[in-house]
Amino acid sequence: VQIYSLYVDCKVTSRFAHTVITSKIVNRANESREATFEVELPKTAFITNFSMSIDGKVYPGIIKEKASARKEYDSAVSRGQSAGLVRITGRKLEQFHVSVSVAATSKVTFELVYEELLKRQLGAFELLIKVRPQQLVKHFQIDVHIFEPQGIRFLETNSSFMTNELTEALTKVQNETKAHILFKPTIDQQKINPDLDETLLDGDFVVRYDVKRGATAGDIQVVNGYFVHYFAPHEMPVIPKNVIFVIDRSGSMGGRKIEQTRDALLKVLQDLRPEDHFGFITFNNRVVEWKSSLLQATAENVASATGFVQTLSASGGTDINRALLTALSLLEKAKGLPERSVSMVILLTDGQPTSGERNVEIIQENIQKAVNGKYALFCLGFGFDVSYDFLEKMALSNGGIARRIYENADAALQLQGFYDEVATPILMKIEMQYPENAIEGLTKNNFKLFFEGSEIVVSGKIKNELDLLPVEIKAQSHASDLTLKEEANVKEKEQVFKNQSYIFGNFIERLWAYLTIQQLLEKSISAQGEDQKTLEARALELSLRYNFVTPLTSMVVTKPAGEQHEELANKPTEAG
């Protein structure tokens, strides 16, 4: 069974990436064989289409509500067949895997389409393409087209498998607003060495870029009556932060985990700014405060904290509830903090609550009451013994986010990377205001914090024939209260995308749907009862209307008769 063609076609239009992967396979044997299509895609993406064509007959994947797809499928499962075509394979990726029986000398073409909105992190957008054909491929090609009307500020490609020979197969053409990256290695270039039929192509192919930013009130783009507004101010004074690190030192954190935590914290201490205030709380079944109040990040205090971090060791149980409540009361009674500052708690734990209060719902209630909307809580779950949905719900209910830290050699870098993202707050209480009577379906437009290097994205539908779309942004910066105003000329903005041949026409509408579904799902995590049902129902309706495989839908993949007739592709979530 030979893959004779593998084509990755990716179009990024104003951060919205549309990727099509086509694999053509021929069975050169004189009996039927199994052909496999295995692709890793970013967790942040939604699959939107899949098909197999075998000898000219097309078998499309059909996206349905998860519950009804499940019902149809259960009869197949009861016949002892395996379920699920998608699973999480790492920190950033999930894998789609399907195989089908191919008759002697027959051909099969697999095609998978997925979409995602690239998210700006630490000053760049990252397009990640996983390359792993597992054999030499005669026609192998990665084709990336990027169009950013704001202009491309920088663009770089790197990959984990490049050699000098392979670099010759890579071309990059770039002008003010467009870039085209083509990677097309010959069979010889793909080989590890000339005598062996083994491929070098195994790893990540990454495109990183950022856009130019002129207007202070961000950039508005309009296509077919939908708009998107990108806002990423830069070169603004940093707002001082008051941060308490709440570190799990229970027995399970022993060994490499606590070492990696120490390494990361030592680096983080060096990155604190002199005007920041900080504190440490470590916990097992006992909760220990490093100091009874927050200290300013002077050289002396940082040195003292460094000494403390170096002595961290692990044993005992896990009292998450009391550790967090202790941190929050430290913030509550703190004196002499800068008037305009951002207060946050960063929790790192690798397990479930085993000491003190163990009921996660009661812990969540206690914490929400103590936070009371005033602080941001970030929860980092180390490894796979944590109750991730508990951490995620707690973070999202309290103005923060949750992240899983994978137990790899680079765990310390993952921890640092997370800290870098939240290290530089430059705006608070951001309100993006649009004329109410003219916009519908507006995505989230109030944000507690804005961190340097990230980006705020708001999208919606322009209701009537509007000539000018006025925008007003209100926010608090380190020094003052800001009001930024901008007016977008709708007709002019529509024109920008009109003559771009390779753009799929309704991309802002799909971007709007993608963003709305992501936000509804996120909101539903911390919602309860009827609220949760309403949010999920709206997300489901949009997932079906726009053909996205989300946690609420399934793709039913039908196969030729005589094989297991149907399989399901579901969207895995970090909470499992």
DSSP string, 157-201: EEETT--HHHHTTEEEEE-SSEEEEEE---HHHHBSSTTS--B--
DSSP reduced 3-state for 482 = strand
Cβ neighbours of residue 526 closer than 8 Å, sequence gap 6 or more: 393, 396, 397
Residue 342 has pLDDT above 60, yes or no: yes
The pLDDT assigned to 182 comes to 98
Cβ neighbours of residue 54 closer than 8 Å, sequence gap 6 or more: 100, 102, 106, 107, 108, 560
Write down the residue that tokens 């104003």 correspond to: 14
The whole-number average pLDDT for the span 218-234 is 94
Which domains are seen in the chain, by residue range?
1-231+438-446+457-466+479-525+540-560 (no CATH), 241-423 (3.40.50.410)
Write down the residue that tokens 């929790």 correspond to: 347
What is the Cα–Cα distance from 206 to 158, expressed in whole angstroms? Answer: 5
DSSP reduced 3-state for 369 = helix
The pLDDT assigned to 567 comes to 83
The whole-number average pLDDT for the span 14-22 is 96
What is the DSSP-derived secondary structure letter of residue 438?
G
The pLDDT assigned to 234 comes to 84
Identify whether the C-beta of residue 110 lies closer than 8 Å to the C-beta of residue 121. no
The whole-number average pLDDT for the span 12-22 is 96
- Per-residue model confidence as pLDDT tens digits over 40-87: 999 999 999 999 999 889 999 999 998 888 777 765 555 444 446 888
- Per-residue model confidence as pLDDT tens digits over 531-564: 999 999 999 999 999 999 999 999 988 888 766 6
**Higher-pLDDT residue of 193, 365:** 365
Q: Which of 361, 362, 366, 330 is nearest to 345 (CA)?
A: 330
User: Using H for helix, E for strand and C for coil, what is the string for 252-312?
Assistant: HHCCHHHHHHHHHHHHHHHHCCCCCEEEEEEECCCEEECCCCCEECCHHHHHHHHHHHHCC
The pLDDT assigned to 77 comes to 53
- Per-residue model confidence as pLDDT tens digits over 402-445: 999 999 999 999 999 999 999 999 999 999 999 989 999 999 99
Identify whether the C-beta of residue 244 lies closer than 8 Å to the C-beta of residue 400. no
The pLDDT assigned to 164 comes to 87
Residue 96 has pLDDT above 50, yes or no: yes
Say what the pTM is.
0.94
- The alpha carbon torsion through 191, 196, 198, 204 (nearest 10 deg) reads -40
For the chain, give the mean pLDDT.
93
For the chain, how long is the longest CA-to-CA vector? 81
The pLDDT assigned to 257 comes to 95
- The alpha carbon torsion through 447, 449, 450, 456 (nearest 10 deg) reads -20
Which two structure tokens, joined as six digits, stand for 546? 């726009």
What is the Cα–Cα distance from 166 to 160, expressed in whole angstroms? Answer: 12
What is the Cα–Cα distance from 328 to 292, expressed in whole angstroms? Answer: 12
Lowest mean pLDDT among 161-170, 416-425, 511-520: 161-170
Cβ neighbours of residue 145 closer than 8 Å, sequence gap 6 or more: 10, 11, 12, 178, 179, 180, 502
